[in-house]
């Protein structure tokens, strides 16, 4: 079974602006590889963080230096007219799978609602570029976008929640769940089950989160539910993030587990991964 982390960050130029992440000046590909090998994680998808202006180049370097171990969900400036023309060739870059954006703050949240970003959805659909979104307060709007652009593959980040952008825990952190589950009716919407331990006030194996994970799995199925960590925010080891899914969820077995732990994310984002081993 290949185990692929749907989201990590790499950086090298200062402390993260998001205080939920480890407050260290760098987290390198070499550090990630050492931890992944210890945890039994085969590969990870790098999401270049906004606090490091060189994070995209770090991600490309990771792809070059560790073949088959990393891919990238990058970003283009949403307020730059030139971005529209770059989407058609976006996936031609080494290791690049798609685009990822945060829509929790202004003006991005308004742009999501008022049609400003219609070019992003239409161009991404036309070019076959998947888009991942952190947009907890706008889940109904994501449904409208999915309906208008049925060929666009959308992925909702962090169980539909706010990840490290909230201090809420347990049930309070999952209050958005009814709106998230409604999105399952759109076949072009998937969910990253990333960062689950970070939403929990409990110790491993974080049992209060199991119910929400099962609801997501039951609604979206094994081909649209993706394991991952956002490891630099997690209150536990990478290995425990793995075993929380592979050993503690009695309902996740067999081929379903293989899909959730890695096969499905490769299919959804079009990562034709070559195992270097």
- The pLDDT tens digits for 231-245 are 999 999 999 999 999
The dihedral built from the CA positions of residue 162, 183, 229 and 45, taken in this order, carries a sign that is negative
In a domain, 276, yes or no: no
Lowest mean pLDDT among 133-137, 250-254, 273-277: 273-277
Span 241-252, average pLDDT: 98
Do residues 95 and 59 lie in contact, with contact meaning Cβ atoms separated by under 8 Å? yes
Closest CA to 180 of 226, 141, 222, 122: 141
Span 145-166, average pLDDT: 95
In a domain, 86, yes or no: yes
Do residues 74 and 96 lie in contact, with contact meaning Cβ atoms separated by under 8 Å? yes
Do residues 271 and 265 lie in contact, with contact meaning Cβ atoms separated by under 8 Å? yes
In a domain, 257, yes or no: yes
In a domain, 277, yes or no: no
CATH number at residue 91: 3.20.20.140
Decide if pLDDT at 274 tops 80: no
Domains: count for the chain = 1
In a domain, 115, yes or no: yes
Q: 10: domain range?
A: 4-269
Give me the pLDDT at residue 107, please. Answer: 95
């Amino acid at each position: 079974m290949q185990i692929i982390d749907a989201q990590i960050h790499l950086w090298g130029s200062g402390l993260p602006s998001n205080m939920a992440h480890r407050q260290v000046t760098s987290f390198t590909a070499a550090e990630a590889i050492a931890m992944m090998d210890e945890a039994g994680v085969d590969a990870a998808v790098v999401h270049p963080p906004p606090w490091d202006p060189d994070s995209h180049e770090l991600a490309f370097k990771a792809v070059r230096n560790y073949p088959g171990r990393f891919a990238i969900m990058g970003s283009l400036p949403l307020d730059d007219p030139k971005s529209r023309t770059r989407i058609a060739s976006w996936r031609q870059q080494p290791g690049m799978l798609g685009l990822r954006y945060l829509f929790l703050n202004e003006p991005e949240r308004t742009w999501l609602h008022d049609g400003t970003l219609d070019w992003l959805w239409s161009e991404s659909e036309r070019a076959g570029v998947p888009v991942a979104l952190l947009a907890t307060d706008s889940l109904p709007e994501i449904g409208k976008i999915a309906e208008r652009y049925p060929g666009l593959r959308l992925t909702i980040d962090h169980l539909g929640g706010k990840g490290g952008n909230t201090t809420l825990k347990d049930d309070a952190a999952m209050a958005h769940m009814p709106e998230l589950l409604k999105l399952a009716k759109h076949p072009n919407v998937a969910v990253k089950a990333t960062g689950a331990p970070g939403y929990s006030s409990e110790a491993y194996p974080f049992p209060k989160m199991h119910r929400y994970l099962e609801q997501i799995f039951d609604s979206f199925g094994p081909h649209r539910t993706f394991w991952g960590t956002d490891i630099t925010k997690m209150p536990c080891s990478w290995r425990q993030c793995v075993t929380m899914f592979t050993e503690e969820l009695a309902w996740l077995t067999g081929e379903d587990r293989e899909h959730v732990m890695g096969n499905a994310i490769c299919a959804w984002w079009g990562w034709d991964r070559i195992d270097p081993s």
